[in-house]
Structure 1
Amino acid sequence: MEQATAIPHVLIFPLPVQGHVTSMLKLAELLSLAGGGGIRVTFLNSDYNHTRLIQFSDAESRFRNYPAFQFKTIDDGLPMDQLTKGQKVSELVGAMGSKTRPVFKDSLVQMDPPVTCVIGDGALGFISEVSLELGIPNIRFRTISTCFFWINFWLPEIIQAGELPIQGEEDMDRMITKVPGTESFLRCRDLPAYCRGRSDEPTLLRIVRATRESSSPPYPLILNTFDELDGPILALVHHRLPKTYAIGPLHEHLRSRLHTTSYSSPSSSLWKEEASCLTWLDSQPLGSVLYVNFGSITMMRRDQAVEFWEGLINSKNRFLWVIRPGSVCFDEEMGCDNMPEELVEGVEKGNLKVLVGWAPQEEVLGHDAVGGFLTHSGWNSTLESIVAGVPMICWPFFADQQVNSRVVSEVLKLGLDMKDVCDRRVVERMVNELMVEKKEEFGRKAAEMARMAKESVKEGGSSYRDLELLIEDIKSQAQEVNGSKSNNSIS
Structure 2
Amino acid sequence: MEQESFPSHVVVFPFPVQSHVNVMLNLAEIFSLSGFQVTFLIPDHIRKGPRFDQISSRFTRYPGFIFKTISDGLSVNHPRTGDRVKELFDSINATTRPLFRIILKSRSLICNGRAPLTCIVADGIMSFAIDIAKDFDLPTILFRPFSATCFWTLFCVPKLIQAGELPLKGVIFVTILFCIYGLSSSNYAWDSDMEKLVENVPGMEGVLRLRDLPSFCRVEDVSNPQLQHVVSETHRATNAYGLILNTFEDLEESALAHIRANIPKLYVIGPLHGYLRPLQGSKSLSEEDRKCIEWLDDQPLRSVVFVSFGNMTVLNIHQLMEFWHGLLNSGKPFLWVISGNLTTGKCHFPADGSVKKGKVVDWAPQEEILSHPATGGFLTHCGWNSTLESVCEGVPMICWPFYADQQVNSRLVEEVWRVGVDMKDICDRRMVEKMVRELMEVRREEFVKSAQEMARLARKSVSEGGASSVSLDSLVRDIKVMSHGKST
User: Please, what TM-score do these two structures have when normalized by structure 1?
Assistant: 0.89
Which residue does 2:26 correspond to in 1?
26
User: Are the aligned partners of 2:167 and 2:220 in contact in 1 as well (CA < 8 Å)?
Assistant: no
Q: Secondary structure at the match of 1:82?
A: coil
2:47 partner letter: H
Note closer, same or farther for the CA distance 1:212–1:86 as it changes in structure 2 (3 Å cut). Answer: closer
Could you tell me which runs of 5 or more consecutive residues in structure 1 were left unpaired when the two chains were aligned.
485-491
Q: Pairwise mapping of residues 260-271 of structure 1 onto structure 2 (< 5 A)? A: 260=279, 266-271=281-286
In structure 2, how many angstroms separate the alpha carbons of the residues matched to 1:105 and 1:217?
19
Which residue does 2:315 correspond to in 1?
300
User: Are the aligned partners of 1:84 and 1:299 in contact in 2 as well (CA < 8 Å)?
Assistant: no
Which residue does 2:69 correspond to in 1?
73
Which residue does 2:261 correspond to in 1?
239
Write out per-residue CA displacement over residues 69-114 of structure 1, whole angstroms, 9 at most, x where no aligned residue: 1111111112242124312223212211221112101211213143
Which residue does 2:178 correspond to in 1?
none
Which residue does 2:175 correspond to in 1?
none
> Are positions 1:45 and 2:50 aligned together?
no
Q: Secondary structure at the match of 1:399?
A: coil
Write out per-residue CA displacement over residues 445-491 of structure 1, whole angstroms, 9 at most, x where no aligned residue: 1011111111111111111111111100000011117x99xxxxxxx
Q: Pairwise mapping of residues 170-209 of structure 1 onto structure 2 (< 5 A)? A: 170=191, 171-197=193-219, 202-209=224-231
2:43 partner letter: S
Which residue does 1:375 correspond to in 2?
380
Of stretches 136-145 and 110-119 in structure 1, the one that deviates more from structure 2 is 110-119
Note closer, same or farther for the CA distance 1:329–1:361 as it changes in structure 2 (3 Å cut). Answer: same
Q: Pairwise mapping of residues 223-372 of structure 1 onto structure 2 (< 5 A)? A: 223-255=245-277, 259-260=278-279, 266-330=281-345, 339-341=348-350, 350-355=356-361, 357-372=362-377
Note closer, same or farther for the CA distance 1:173–1:63 as it changes in structure 2 (3 Å cut). Answer: same
**TM-fit CA distance, 1:326:** 3.4
In structure 1, how many angstroms separate the alpha carbons of the residues matched to 2:79 and 2:206?
36
In structure 2, how many angstroms separate the alpha carbons of the residues matched to 1:440 and 1:320?
22
In structure 1, how many angstroms separate the alpha carbons of the residues matched to 2:80 and 2:415?
31
In structure 2, how many angstroms separate the alpha carbons of the residues matched to 1:380 and 1:8?
27
In structure 2, how many angstroms separate the alpha carbons of the residues matched to 1:267 and 1:154?
38
User: Please, what TM-score do these two structures have when normalized by structure 2?
Assistant: 0.90
Write out per-residue CA displacement over residues 397-431 of structure 1, whole angstroms, 9 at most, x where no aligned residue: 00100110011110111100000000011001010
Q: Pairwise mapping of residues 388-403 of structure 1 onto structure 2 (< 5 A)? A: 388-403=393-408
Note closer, same or farther for the CA distance 1:228–1:139 as it changes in structure 2 (3 Å cut). Answer: same
Could you tell me which runs of 5 or more consecutive residues in structure 2 were left unpaired when the two chains were aligned.
171-189
> Are positions 1:408 and 2:413 aligned together?
yes
Q: Pairwise mapping of residues 80-99 of structure 1 onto structure 2 (< 5 A)? A: 80-99=76-95
Q: Secondary structure at the match of 1:329?
A: coil
Aligned residue pairs total 461
Note closer, same or farther for the CA distance 1:281–1:229 as it changes in structure 2 (3 Å cut). Answer: same
**Which of 60, 66, 69 matches 1:64?**
60
In structure 2, how many angstroms separate the alpha carbons of the residues matched to 1:401 and 1:473?
32
**TM-fit CA distance, 1:195:** 1.5
User: Are the aligned partners of 1:141 and 1:222 in contact in 2 as well (CA < 8 Å)?
Assistant: yes
User: Are the aligned partners of 1:289 and 1:371 in contact in 2 as well (CA < 8 Å)?
Assistant: yes
**TM-fit CA distance, 1:318:** 1.3
User: Are the aligned partners of 1:307 and 1:423 in contact in 2 as well (CA < 8 Å)?
Assistant: yes
Note closer, same or farther for the CA distance 1:232–1:342 as it changes in structure 2 (3 Å cut). Answer: farther
In structure 2, how many angstroms separate the alpha carbons of the residues matched to 1:321 and 1:213?
38
Of stretches 55-64 and 183-192 in structure 1, the one that deviates more from structure 2 is 55-64
Write out per-residue CA displacement over residues 194-250 of structure 1, whole angstroms, 9 at most, x where no aligned residue: 222279972212212322443445640000001111112111111211111111111
User: Are the aligned partners of 2:213 and 2:407 in contact in 1 as well (CA < 8 Å)?
Assistant: yes
**TM-fit CA distance, 1:129:** 1.8
Q: Percent identity?
A: 47
Q: Secondary structure at the match of 1:181?
A: coil
> Are positions 1:434 and 2:439 aligned together?
yes
**Which of 158, 162, 174 matches 2:164?**
162
In structure 2, how many angstroms separate the alpha carbons of the residues matched to 1:194 and 1:379?
16
In structure 1, how many angstroms separate the alpha carbons of the residues matched to 2:354 and 2:252?
39
In structure 2, how many angstroms separate the alpha carbons of the residues matched to 1:283 and 1:106?
54
Write out per-residue CA displacement over residues 124-160 of structure 1, whole angstroms, 9 at most, x where no aligned residue: 1211221122220110000011100100111111111
> Are positions 1:471 and 2:467 aligned together?
no
